[in-house]
Amino acid sequence: MIYPPIIAHRCGGALAPENTLAGLHLAARLGCRGVEFDVMLAADGVPVLIHDETLERTTSGRGRVADMGSVQLARLDAGSRHHAAFAMEPVPTLADALHRCAALGLWANVEIKPSAGQDVDTGRVVARLAAAANGKLLLSSFSSAALRSAAEEAEQLPRALLVGAIAPDWRERMAETGAMALHSSARALTAETLAEVLAAGFPLACYTVNRRDDAERLFAMGVSAVFTDRPDLWAASEM
C-alpha cells in the first residue's frame, strides 16, 4: 500500500473548518495529495462528515448527529466556529466529499466513526458508497466491528486499523479485521513496536504530527505517512 507521506487531518487540518469541503479545497491548493476525514451516519442513514457524536463543538446545531437527517445537517453552519470567513459552510455528505476528492485528485482516508451502537451499519454503508465511488481511498476505524462490516461489504477496499498505543494483541486485531495497515498515535509509538509491525509486512502511519522535525524522525524510523493539522509546513513537492 502506497501512502501520500503528508496527509491533511480532517480535510484541511487547522487551516479550515474540520471535515468540510472547504478543507478539501484548501488542502488541494496547498499541494496535498492525501486527506483524512471522519464519517458518521445521520438519522436517515446517510453518511456525513463529522467527528463528534454531538453537534455543538463544530456546528451551529445542538444534539446528536444520529438524531438529525442529512438534509437538516447540511443547513447547519459548520464553518463559523473556525472563522467567520467560512460562515455557513455545510456539513457535507460522504458522497459529496468523495466526488470532490476525485475532482481535486485527492487520495482519501475515510475514517469510519460510528455513533454508539452503529458500528456494523456505518461500516457497511460507508464501504458500499466508497466502493461505488471507485476513487483512490482507504478505510480506517478504531472499531473492529465497523472494519469487519466494511470488509464484508467491499472486501477489495484497503483497510487500516486505528489504535492509540499499539497493544500486545495488535496482530490478532489485524487478522480479525482483515486490516492491511496500522495507524497509531505518534506519541505512543516505540521503535521496538514499529520494528515488529514493519517486520510483519504492515505499513504504519501516525497521527497527529504538527512539527516537521517530528515527522522527519518518524520517517527515518520507517513510518509511511503522518496525519497533520499543519500541511502548510511542507512544500507541495514534499507531499
Catalytic residues: 9, 51
Rounded Cα gap, residues 205 and 180, in angstroms: 12
Q: Residue 117 carries which DSSP code? A: T
Read off the C-alpha cell for 32: 496535498
Residue 191 region by backbone torsions, left for phi larger than 0, else alpha for psi between -120 and 50, else beta: alpha
Let me know how long the chain is. Answer: 239
Best CA proximity match to 123, nearest among 162, 150, 154, 155: 150
**CB neighbour list of residue 218: distance below 8 Å, 6 or more residues apart:** 186, 189, 206, 209, 226
